[in-house]
Amino acid sequence: MAVVFQKSRMLTDVPFSYCPGCTHGIAHRLIAEALEELRCEGRTIGIAPVGCSVFAYKFFNCDMQQVAHGRAPAAATGIKRTHPDKVVFVYQGDGDLASIGTAEIIHAAARGENVTVIFINNAIYGMTGGQMAPTTLIGQKTTTSPAGRTIAANGNPIRVCEMLATLDGPSYIARCALSDPANVMKAKKAILKGFRNQLEGKGFSLIELLSTCPTNMGLTPVAAADYVKNDMTKVFPLGVYKDIDAEQK
Amino acid sequence: MKKLMKGNEAIAEAAIRGGCRAFFGYPITPQNEIPEYMSHRLPEVGGVFLQAESEVSAINMVYGAAGSGARVMTSSSSPGISLKQEGISYICGAELPCVIVNMVRGGPGLGGIQPAQSDYFQAVKGGGHGDYHMLVYGPSTVQEAVDLMYDAFDKADKYRLPVMILGDGMLGQIMEAVEIPPMKDPAAFAPKPWATDGTGTGKGRRIINSLYIDPDELEKVNHRLFDVYVELAKNETAYEEYKTEDAEIVLVAYGTVARIAKSAVNLLRSNGVKAGLLRPITLFPFPSAILSALADKECIKSFTAIELSMGQMVEDVRLAVNGKKPVGFYGRTGGNVMSPEDIVKFISEKEGR
Amino acid sequence: MEEKIIIAGFGGQGVLSLGQFIAYAAIADGKEVTWLPSYGPEMRGGTSNCSVVVSDEKVASPIISSPDCLIAMNKPSLYKFQGRVRKGGTILVNSSLIAEKVDRDDVRAVYLDAGALALEAGNAKTANIVVLGAYIKLSGLFSVDLVAEMIKEKFAEKPKVIPANLKALELGYHAV
């Protein structure tokens, strides 16, 4: 019988522990496929953050480190600097990357660390139960902004891609959405590009993936995907924010 | 051949001779000569130097590099070490080997920049969250700091924990003649099959982690860590006894202060007071057994801990002596350093000798 | 034998390097030595000082409460440290910058116009070496030849300045 589809070799047999409709699973698969296609098996070190994806170390079939909240880009720097011939990727959520770890991500990007960062932005703290994130939309209700986020009380959401694209260090910065098949395929391409840049020594890349959290958004998986596509993209427009290859052309 | 070297620079060179090939740090007085030295010396031996954006990042770079098998270190001084505590706790939880230098300055807060020993509790009792310890050395001369640093990475690798060199501004800034040992051959270092060097797949993949959601699993880890500390106490406890054979008064001091106390012992003896000194070299594990044994000796009437703090190590001395003899305390703080004469005066007045 | 020396002056007067020269000479002479500087904001242009202990045995305390010798390169240093010199000790005063006399009669006070002698040696920056020359004479710790050799070694990368420094050493040595 011909095999028409199988799980990526860069994923373990451990079943994902994510909620139904959560897009972490899709993000994991895209990363695994990209690593497999680029023949990174046996030379990859991944970093799991603190947040829902804290258990990412169970799912990727490569050496993995689980690190302190927000510090993944620093740990990645330590790994890549001492193992420059290995592929290093960082997986972070919005609380991890854009709140407690802002210093680490900005400086890793500014140094142009030759690593690939996958940034999951679902505009909420998932693991801890739906609190406000640095990327929570204005008006969005969370357990710590029960009446909806306001500019007066909480300020505006942080646009990470736009901010990091102002730096000279990064080689590639893009925002994609895991909201529908077409956008998922675009995300796959962006992730491949990020890893290719690393393999070619071009330096830091970050791919932001707008993601769902049906559980804490209080939406069905389909409604959550629509929310990502219709509401989140208004605040976080999709696109490539930096690409040194395009600049050179 | 002996060479006149500044403490900080000698320690940095000893680290490299001992196999250190990566350094991540952030500037803070009085240890800046260590990163400065590393920044030009490490590239010469094919190593990595990086000035991090913060102490927090520096210790997490150490985590990443150590987890991937590198011989890596960081150095800082008190306020910076406080910032590193989160990372140190994770490093201990993930059982990673590395070396951390703390050239202690006065506190709390920004404190001062002059010598102090007020980070003793932080160094030996844990410092960050959770049940853990490091192997902590309190060298008293530049040569001893060099010798301890030279083997620190071997010890860290053997027990899979951080080794802390607890010095102070005086040790970092002083120049003394030192013998720098030869370069260790990295090829001879024991392999680290647990390290995430990127080659692991399938059943052979490695995970560096400090997260144990299952209570029984975490409890097992806690016990495993403490089994290592029992081994440490057995194998690594180090101290120096000075004129304790017939002593009536025993001073207990570590680090640079122990040198001052040693001069005080000699002054006291020339005044007819039978004084001696017990100098812990390892602060964790603390040399409790020898203190307990000394406390059993009939000739010894009392102990006095001498520290550049309000009294931290003295608590461990009291625990070890366990009420068998009185334990006094004399300390200076704020960056002030006592002279041998100050100690003699204290002993004469307070101890009635 | 144990000799405890405090050397103090303005930053930029070569106070720390003067102490280091004594330390290097001690090592070359097979003695034990510690050199401990004041550090921190003080080293940025303010006053600076260092403590040097030279001994036949391993040096215990590098902290000096009462020095055998004080080398005062400027007025504040003389006032700060003169009271701490042990009875019968020595205070070497840089009289180019200090018009005042030592305020004690139980120590040996020696006045040296280091600035003028440095100019005579051909380089105003050698005042600390003039003082070094005077110090080795007063202390009798090392031979002038040993220190001259050490100066040649330490300035090996700047051979142009060696003659003036050797001259300064000699002038200082014979001035006291």
| pLDDT tens profile B310-348 | 999 999 999 999 999 999 999 999 989 999 999 999 999
CA atoms within 13 A on the CB side of C47: 15
| Chain segment A57-79, per-residue pLDDT in tens | 999 999 999 999 999 999 999 99
Nearest CA to B101 out of B32, B184, B174, B155 is that of B32
State whether residue C29 sits within 8 Å of chain B by CB. Answer: no
Interface residue of A38, A63, A100, A117 to substitute, partner B, most B CBs within 10 Å: A63
> Band of the pLDDT at C41, cuts 50, 70, 90?
low
Nearest CA to A49 out of A1, A4, A101 is that of A101
Token couple for A96: 């991890």
Nearest CB among C20, C61, C63 relative to B175 is that of: C20
Nearest CB among A63, A71, A106 relative to B205 is that of: A63
State whether residue C143 sits within 8 Å of chain B by CB. Answer: no
pLDDT of residue C38: 86
Is B198 in Cβ contact with A62 (below 8 Å)? Answer: yes
Taking the C-alpha atoms of residue A228 and residue A140, their distance in angstroms, rounded to an integer, is: 13
% residues pLDDT > 90 (chain B): 97
Nearest CB among B30, B177, B338 relative to C33 is that of: B177
Q: What letter does residue A166 receive in the DSSP assignment?
A: T
Cα distances (Å, whole numbers) of residue B55 to A199, B50, B209, B216: 29, 12, 21, 33
State whether residue A163 sits within 8 Å of chain B by CB. Answer: no
pLDDT of residue C46: 65
Token couple for B184: 């260790």
Mean pLDDT estimate for chain C: 93
Q: Is the ipTM of this complex over 0.95?
A: no
pLDDT of residue A1: 80
Q: What is the mean pLDDT of residues B58-73?
A: 98
Contact of A33 with A188, CB cutoff 8 Å: yes
Taking the C-alpha atoms of residue A121 and residue A160, their distance in angstroms, rounded to an integer, is: 10
Decide if pLDDT at B101 tops 80.
yes
Contact of A18 with A219, CB cutoff 8 Å: no
Strands A124-125 and B162-168: unpaired
Rounded to the nearest angstrom, the minimum Cα separation between A238 and chain B is 30
Domain regions of chain C by residue span: 2-175
Strands B3-6 and B175-178: antiparallel
Amino acid at B224: R
| β-pair partners for B25 | B51
State whether residue A61 sits within 8 Å of chain B by CB. Answer: yes
> Band of the pLDDT at B288, cuts 50, 70, 90?
very high
Decide if pLDDT at B241 tops 90.
yes
- CA of B29: which chain C residue's CA is closest? C40
Taking the C-alpha atoms of residue C168 and residue A146, their distance in angstroms, rounded to an integer, is: 80
Q: Which chains touch C (3 or more CB pairs under 8 A)?
A: B
Decide if pLDDT at C39 tops 90.
no
Strands B282-284 and B135-137: antiparallel
B-chain CB neighbours of C58 within 8 Å are: 141
> Band of the pLDDT at C43, cuts 50, 70, 90?
very low
Nearest CA to C8 out of C55, C35, C47 is that of C47
Q: What is the mean pLDDT of residues C62-71?
A: 94
Taking the C-alpha atoms of residue B296 and residue C16, their distance in angstroms, rounded to an integer, is: 48
> Band of the pLDDT at C157, cuts 50, 70, 90?
very high
> Band of the pLDDT at C170, cuts 50, 70, 90?
very high
Nearest CB among A41, A75, A81 relative to B63 is that of: A75
Considering Cα of A146, then A149, then A151, then A154, what sign does the dihedral take?
Answer: positive
Q: What is the mean pLDDT of residues C131-142?
A: 96
Nearest CB among C39, C63, C64 relative to B169 is that of: C39
| Chain segment A180-226, per-residue pLDDT in tens | 999 999 999 999 999 999 999 999 999 999 999 999 999 999 999 99
Q: What are phi and psi of C109, to 5 degrees?
A: -105, 130
Is B90 in Cβ contact with A79 (below 8 Å)? Answer: no
CA atoms within 13 A on the CB side of A136: 28
The burial of C116, by beta-carbon neighbours within 10 Å (0-12 exposed, 13-18 middle, 19 or more buried), is given as middle
Who's near B48: CB < 8 A, 6+ residues apart? A81, A82, B21, B22, B23, B42, B65, B70
Decide if pLDDT at B103 tops 90.
yes
Rounded to the nearest angstrom, the minimum Cα separation between B48 and chain A is 7
pLDDT of residue C42: 47
Nearest CA to B59 out of B95, B100, B20, B19 is that of B100
Q: What are phi and psi of A89, to 5 degrees?
A: -125, 150
Alpha helix (H) residue ranges in B207-311: 215-236, 255-270, 288-296
Interface residue of B48, B68, B84 to substitute, partner A, most A CBs within 10 Å: B68
pLDDT of residue B1: 73
Domains of chain B: 3-195+208-236 (3.40.50.970), 240-350 (3.40.50.920)
DSSP string, B42-67: HHHTT-EEEE-SSHHHHHHHHHHHHH
Topology of the domain comprising C2-175: Pyruvate-ferredoxin Oxidoreductase; domain 3 (3.40.920)
Who's near C121: CB < 8 A, 6+ residues apart? C129, C130, C164, C165, C167, C168, C171
Instruction: Write out the H or E segment, with its range, that includes residue C85.
Output: none
pLDDT of residue C40: 58
Taking the C-alpha atoms of residue C3 and residue C68, their distance in angstroms, rounded to an integer, is: 6
Alpha helix (H) residue ranges in chain A: 24-37, 56-59, 72-82, 94-95, 102-111, 151-154, 160-164, 181-199, 214-217, 221-227, 233-235, 244-248
pLDDT of residue C11: 80
Contact of B113 with B335, CB cutoff 8 Å: yes
Contact of B141 with B14, CB cutoff 8 Å: no
Angle at CA of residue C38, ends C35 and C40, nearest 5°: 135
Decide if pLDDT at B353 tops 90.
no
Domains of chain A: 24-248 (3.40.50.970)
Q: What is the mean pLDDT of residues C73-97?
A: 96
Mean pLDDT estimate for chain A: 96
